């Protein structure tokens, strides 16, 4: 791996020049700008763990393509053990950062495209699989961060890609030549986009023959001509812009994943970086596999975040003198129970993994969707319990400026104090952390990341095999199967 630690990752970002905007102004260095730097530091943790002896076995793998040591985030799962190690790694990273560390979407895209291109070539005699492997070896050797670009703007959601009044509402091919293609459109909510090295573009939905130009998968450097990124606003980002360390809640790391709009304005993609061009019959497989891989993650990374939140509330209860109350213990127990139940889901869908034709392993798709569906409920309930236990003072807490004021700082320290021996500043810091982890974008991402709750319910019904369940009931009662 060329990039061996977080510092080398950050330095690599300074060498590329993507076009990134935030609040109407261009960002020249995402590693130093107050809006983006926390997200860079969170992603850097994925690099740091790979060089940490304690976590190296989880954070690295051996490439089945080259035999070289690589980041697990560039690895193609070769067995159930790989799937389970991924889950364990994501929980650790959630614990270390308390936020999204941004490499999962590209990771899941790599695994999905790998297996689907193999099957496309087998059916059609194309060479997408070999192209993809060549690109992947490059990604593995450089240890590049890849943003998986799947979600399109969608425009009028009652219409398909080819029926939109504005054809750019879905990324599509506008020109083809012997050398490559030109694409136009946009991808939204791109986690880690501004601090990635490469973009892996994928279709966002199943396409029909009418939408051949929209069935495109390809890889593009983030600073390729014609690409513009617009970084999204986040909860309390003005506090971060003003470098209010305590008031941000998580001074080192971002509120969630650092999402961006990525616009493609006639971007040229060379032939060797095209992995799907019009094969609409394979769009369903790609979207389906990506969704399952990505939904399996959430019971792991979100459990890591919930571990931090549970610890924060427990410490705050100690600072406030309420830790011994039976109802407090009961609610903290429930937070732990919900967290571990989510973790069980991620482990289960990994343990039930199976090989695809390419040899790459898939998670159990039913259990992956159940896992993500639980996240849309359990994370919110853990947040509700945290706010219940923390108390209402979080909503009216004075600012860092008041705490440090020569005029009123002594009043803040006096009247926001708790148990003797625990500094008031510690109580305020932990309260701001709870605020940051329960308010706004973090929970929106838990609800809608990897697809809205309804998307999982659709998949759960498809995977439910109701015909088989009807046969089980009939067999138990002796009812003929044809009736």
Catalytic residue among 259, 343, 356, 438: 259
Q: What is the pTM of this model?
A: 0.89
Is 155 inside a domain boundary? no
Is pLDDT of 205 > 90? yes
Least confident of 1-10, 237-246, 341-350, 381-390: 237-246
Is pLDDT of 442 > 80? no
Contact 459, 411 (CB under 8 A): no
Q: Look up 104 and say whether it is catalytic.
A: yes
Q: Look up 294 and say whether it is catalytic.
A: yes
Radius of gyration of the chain (CA): 24
Catalytic residue among 218, 301, 349, 371: 301
Q: Look up 54 and say whether it is catalytic.
A: no
Cα 136 to Cα 200: distance, rounded to the nearest angstrom = 11
Tokens of 16: 């590329």
Q: Look up 272 and say whether it is catalytic.
A: no
Cα 107 to Cα 99: distance, rounded to the nearest angstrom = 17
74-90 pLDDT, tens digit per residue, is: 999 999 999 999 999 99
Catalytic residue among 198, 279, 435, 445: 445
Catalytic residue among 47, 100, 303, 371: 100
Confidence of residue 440 (pLDDT cuts 50, 70, 90): very low
Catalytic residue among 39, 189, 294, 379: 294
Is 223 inside a domain boundary? no
Cα 97 to Cα 433: distance, rounded to the nearest angstrom = 12
Confidence of residue 374 (pLDDT cuts 50, 70, 90): very high
Residues 6+ apart with CB under 8 A from 65: 76, 133, 136, 137, 140
Is 451 inside a domain boundary? yes
Is 68 inside a domain boundary? no
Q: Half-sphere exposure (CA, 13 Å, Cβ side) for 277?
A: 24
Catalytic residue among 31, 191, 283, 438: 191
Is 124 inside a domain boundary? no
Q: How many residues does the chain have?
A: 483
Catalytic residue among 36, 97, 104, 349: 104
Is 22 inside a domain boundary? no
What CATH number is given to the structural domain containing 347? 1.20.140.10
Q: Which pLDDT does position 450 carry in this prediction?
A: 59
Give me the number of domains the chain comprises. 1
If one compares 137 and 250, the residue with the highest pLDDT of the two is 137
278-289 pLDDT, tens digit per residue, is: 999 999 999 999
Catalytic residue among 197, 298, 303, 349: 298
**Residue numbers of the domain that contains 464:** 286-472
Q: Look up 197 and say whether it is catalytic.
A: no
Q: Look up 11 and say whether it is catalytic.
A: no
Is pLDDT of 125 > 90? yes
Is 153 inside a domain boundary? no
Is 434 inside a domain boundary? yes
Residues 408-412: what's their mean pLDDT?
A: 94
Q: Look up 118 and say whether it is catalytic.
A: no
Q: Look up 74 and say whether it is catalytic.
A: no
């Amino acid at each position: 791996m060329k990039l061996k630690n977080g510092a080398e990752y950050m330095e690599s970002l300074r060498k590329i020049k993507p076009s990134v905007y935030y609040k109407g102004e261009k960002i020249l260095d995402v590693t130093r700008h107050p809006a983006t730097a926390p997200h860079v530091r969170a992603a850097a943790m994925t690099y740091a763990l790979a060089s940490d002896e304690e976590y190296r076995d989880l954070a690295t793998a051996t490439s089945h393509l080259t035999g070289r040591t690589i980041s697990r985030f560039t690895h193609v799962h070769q067995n159930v053990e790989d799937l389970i190690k991924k889950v364990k790694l994501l929980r650790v990273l959630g614990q270390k950062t308390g936020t999204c560390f941004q490499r999962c979407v590209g990771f899941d895209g790599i695994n999905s495209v790998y297996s689907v291109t193999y099957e496309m070539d087998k059916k059609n005699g194309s060479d997408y699989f070999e192209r993809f492997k060549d690109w992947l070896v490059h990604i593995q050797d450089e240890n590049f961060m890849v943003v998986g670009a799947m979600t399109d703007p969608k425009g009028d959601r009652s219409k398909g890609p080819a029926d939109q009044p504005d054809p750019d509402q879905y990324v599509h091919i506008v020109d083809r030549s012997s050398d490559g293609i030109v694409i136009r459109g946009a991808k939204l909510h791109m986690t880690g986009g501004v601090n990635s090295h490469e973009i892996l573009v994928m279709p966002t939905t199943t396409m029909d023959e009418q939408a051949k130009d929209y069935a495109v998968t390809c890889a593009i450097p983030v600073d390729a001509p014609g690409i513009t990124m617009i970084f999204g606003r986040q909860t309390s980002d003005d506090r971060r812009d003003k470098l209010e360390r305590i008031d941000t809640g998580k001074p080192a790391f971002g509120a969630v994943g650092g999402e961006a709009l990525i616009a493609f304005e006639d971007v040229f993609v060379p032939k060797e970086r095209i992995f799907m061009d019009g094969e609409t019959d394979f769009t369903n497989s790609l979207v389906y596999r990506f969704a399952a891989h990505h939904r399996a993650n959430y019971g792991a990374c979100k459990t890591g975040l919930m571990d931090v939140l549970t610890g924060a509330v427990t410490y705050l209860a100690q600072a406030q003198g309420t830790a011994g109350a039976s109802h407090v213990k009961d609610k903290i127990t429930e937070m732990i129970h919900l967290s571990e139940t989510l973790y069980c889901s991620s482990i289960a869908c990994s343990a039930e993994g199976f090989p695809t034709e390419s040899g790459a392993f898939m998670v159990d798709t039913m259990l992956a969707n159940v896992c993500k569906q639980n996240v849309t409920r359990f994370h919110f309930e853990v947040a509700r319990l945290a706010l219940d236990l923390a108390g209402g003072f979080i909503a009216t807490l004075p600012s860092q400026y008041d705490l440090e004021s020569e005029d009123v700082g002594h009043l803040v320290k006096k009247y926001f104090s708790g148990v003797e021996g625990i500094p008031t500043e510690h109580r305020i810091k932990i309260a701001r952390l709870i605020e940051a982890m329960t308010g706004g974008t973090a929970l929106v991402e838990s609800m809608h990341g990897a697809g809205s709750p309804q998307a999982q319910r659709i998949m759960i019904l498809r995977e439910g095999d109701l015909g088989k369940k009807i046969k089980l009931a009939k067999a138990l009662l002796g009812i003929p199967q044809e009736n």
